[in-house]
Structure 1
Amino acid sequence: MATATKTTEVAVSNGLGNEEEDESSRSSIRAMLAKLTLNKNPKKQVIPLGLGDPATYPCFRVGQNVAEAVVKSLTSGKYNTYAPSFGIADARRAVAEYLSEGVPKGLGLVEEDVYMTVGGSQAIEICLAALGRGKRGPYNILMPKPGFLLYQNFCALNNIEPRFYHLLPQSNWEVDLDGVRHIADDNTLAIVVINPNNPCGAVYSRYHLQQIAEVAGKLKVPVVSDEIYGHIVFGGSEFVPMVSFASITPIITIGGLSKRFLVPGWRLGWIALSKPQGSLKQTRIKEDIEKLMNVIPGPSSFIQVKVQISLLSNVNDDVEFATELMKEESVLVLPGSILGLKDWVRIHFGAPPEILEEALDRIESFCERHKNCR
């Protein structure tokens, strides 16, 4: 049990391969959810558990003091001009200090290491564009499966081949390190790691993160560490920033305010570069990021349910499960196929307990009606 996700088993999944993706996997998350919403049951109010937006319900919204601070900045008149391309100095410094908390001495970040972006999505876009900038040939980036679809989309825009390594459900969704070694080659630009993991919810141990860094170090590539869910952990889990291992291999950290600070609509994210340790094929990454940021607009001043299809009648896969669930119960969940994990569904549980209870009751009722009695 790790981030804002929890695993409840109701079924068996097929394996994760590098086979041709089905049509649902090539769609966007928002497009899939919009399509599912069209099938809602008009007799029941929709319970949206498909999109990871923590600000949907009032109980998760920021306090009045945060809003007042923003209003104060706005009315001061100091921030009506264009912001610097890399972000306001005070903001960059604050993020550097935040990312350096708990990091070993000598590996902390400073203002010049941080670049402010329009949310985490633009941070991903800039990072992948910079990694592939000026490169010719069949370059590739290694990324997790299941994983966040946006990485794959931005690879396509930058003529980078996405290569997928497996996350292992039987090992708490840890990275298949042998698989990483197997698919890497001389044209590999980076390894993407999402921790805490989206969509699986695992939080990787300090030891496992060190293992990942050591593999990247031997391959002489950086780790792109997506920490948008950083510090959102439950129980005895510990969030360890990947920059803690920058002495082994360079670390590019991606983050933002949206999840931990509950303000996704503010669209404020960042890229942070660890000080290079050792050789890199892409030695100009910092320069390339700065060139890109000088010509693009800068920022303004889950729960898994593993579906055992064989136990259900008239349901053939996870997309059909989500479609029929919406049609009958008006509960919106995200099919796992779009994240690279067929016959699973993702349920975002950033909702009040009473709403979650009603949603789970509806899902249970749906499964009972469709139970295969053979």
Structure 2
Amino acid sequence: MPQRTVPVSSRLSDVRYEIRGALSRRARELEAEGRHIVRLNIGNPGLFGFAVPAHVRAEVEANLSRSEAYCHQQGLQAAREAIAAREIARGAQGAHADNVFIGNGVSELIDLTLRALLNTGEEVLLPSPDYPLWSAATVLNGGRARYYPCPASRGHLPDPDEVEALITPRTRALVLINPNNPTGAVYPRELLEALVAVAERHRLLLLSDEIYDGILYDDAKFHPLAPLAGDVPCVTYAGLSKMQRACGYRTGWISVSGSEAKFAEFRAALDLLSALRLCANVPSQWAIVPALTGPDTMSALTAPGGRLFEARRAVIEGVRASEFLEVVAPQGALYAFPQVKPGALPAFDDEAFALDLLETESVLVVPGNGFNIRERNHFRMTLLPQPAEIGDVFARIERCLRRTAERAAPARHVA
């Protein structure tokens, strides 16, 4: 009698997460064979020698004995008050500790907020390229992702008119990722104000992913969305993973702001869903107060001479020296999103290139189409390695691209 397989949800057929997908699995196989793989696929600071600030770690260690019971479903009171105080200081209307929810990283909270919001078939406006968890969480919660383009030709910034043209009666929310992953774009105030106006006209919930809010280069300026939104309901996402280099702590939070009368029902839904999972990881919540009230440990890394600044410089110089590549210089976050120059490699395929680069040069990047763009000419790489290592990576990338060009040359000649 044939063995019956266990069926899976049909929703998974539309879910991709190439950051930890097939290429990453192949990289693990190569590592098991003894190869050293330069992993540029994920923004995980601890794997590149970055450490959680000592004053943040010390608070976690000091409170371990107080972390053995469940806490309130929304999180530790002192932590929520510190988060609310920051939002109030920024000018967010309606910010309050009662409107803060702490989760096991922003990833959990993206899923939780979309579960609270969406009915089957309702739509969420997402940037293209996006961080693919947003698309996955939309689909897995019964929604439909609709993408507004953020092309390199516009510095990876959206056009508010294009965003508004996508809105239908079933559209529920507008997602912004600022500073942006994967492109490093940082949104100007005027653009954010225009997007708020779109949301207000169409009664959309604003969902603002600001996990990289303090990681900025050159003269880039970050503008939090909640103060600009006024009484328009807005959910702001932030956490410890990037600013405090504490990915393994799995501590993120959301702050709901705007008119409380408008978001009261949504807030109650968040409270119910938070209670169902009991609470977030308690020990790492003690890190929130020192993280938000202690010294700035990021600016030195992103200023000239700082490790992230110099890594970014190495990426820009590597692209500039390339025969095949160009890039919009990232203004924030931990990534660059290079693309093949128009016409340089007409048959270029980002997935085939990424696999070739891994197999022949032991470098792992993420193909651009993994971030829900139609073009097949981009790839994402993190800025976390040492600057000297990035220089070596671009030598490997250029070798791979040159081989790609050489393989394509006979076909062009025949044509």
Normalised by the size of structure 1, how large is the TM-score? 0.84
Preserved CA contact (<8 Å) 2:193 2:229: no
* Letter paired with 2:336: I
C-alpha displacement at 1:226, in angstroms? 0.6
Preserved CA contact (<8 Å) 1:144 1:192: yes
Matched, 1:29 2:29: no
Partner of 1:82: 70
Matched, 1:361 2:395: yes
d(CA) in 2 for partners of 1:225, 1:173: 17
Partner of 2:3: none
Preserved CA contact (<8 Å) 2:44 2:247: yes
C-alpha displacement at 1:297, in angstroms? 4.0
Matched, 1:350 2:387: no
Partner of 2:338: 305
For the structure 1 residues 169 and 227, does the alpha-carbon distance in structure 2 shift closer, same or farther, using more than 3 Å as the test?
same
d(CA) in 1 for partners of 2:364, 2:379: 10
Partner of 2:327: none
Alignment of 1:146-161 (within 5 A): 146-161=129-144
Aligned residues, how many? Answer: 341
Partner of 1:326: 358
Task: Specify which of 179, 188, 204 is matched with residue 221 of structure 1.
Answer: 204
C-alpha displacement at 1:189, in angstroms? 0.9
For the structure 1 residues 40 and 304, does the alpha-carbon distance in structure 2 shift closer, same or farther, using more than 3 Å as the test?
farther
* Letter paired with 1:111: A
Matched, 1:340 2:372: yes
Which consecutive segments of 4 or more residues in structure 1 shift more than 3 A? 23-28, 38-44, 308-313
Preserved CA contact (<8 Å) 1:258 1:264: yes
Preserved CA contact (<8 Å) 2:15 2:135: no
d(CA) in 1 for partners of 2:29, 2:357: 9
C-alpha displacement at 1:29, in angstroms? 2.5
For the structure 1 residues 308 and 172, does the alpha-carbon distance in structure 2 shift closer, same or farther, using more than 3 Å as the test?
closer
C-alpha displacement at 1:79, in angstroms? 2.0
Percent identity over the alignment is 28
Alignment of 1:1-374 (within 5 A): 26-37=16-27, 40=30, 45-58=36-49, 60-74=50-64, 77-101=65-89, 103-104=90-91, 107=93, 109-132=95-118, 135=119, 138-247=121-230, 249-276=232-259, 280=262, 284-301=265-282, 302-308=335-341, 311-312=344-345, 316-341=348-373, 342-372=376-406, 373=409
d(CA) in 1 for partners of 2:166, 2:203: 14
Partner of 1:5: none
Higher relative contact order (CA 8 A, sep 6+): 1
* Letter paired with 1:344: H
d(CA) in 2 for partners of 1:26, 1:265: 22
C-alpha displacement at 1:108, in angstroms? 6.6
Deviations 1:268-310 (A, max 9, x none): 0111100327x85x75111110111111142211111203596
d(CA) in 1 for partners of 2:176, 2:362: 34
> What secondary structure does 1:290 align onto?
helix
Preserved CA contact (<8 Å) 1:47 1:330: yes
Normalised by the size of structure 2, how large is the TM-score? 0.76
Preserved CA contact (<8 Å) 1:305 1:346: yes
Preserved CA contact (<8 Å) 1:24 1:338: no
Partner of 2:298: none
Preserved CA contact (<8 Å) 2:17 2:133: no
* Letter paired with 1:317: D
Preserved CA contact (<8 Å) 2:53 2:244: no
For the structure 1 residues 366 and 96, does the alpha-carbon distance in structure 2 shift closer, same or farther, using more than 3 Å as the test?
same
Whichever structure has more helix as a proportion of its residues is: 2
> What secondary structure does 2:150 align onto?
strand
In structure 1, runs of 5+ residues without a counterpart are 1-22
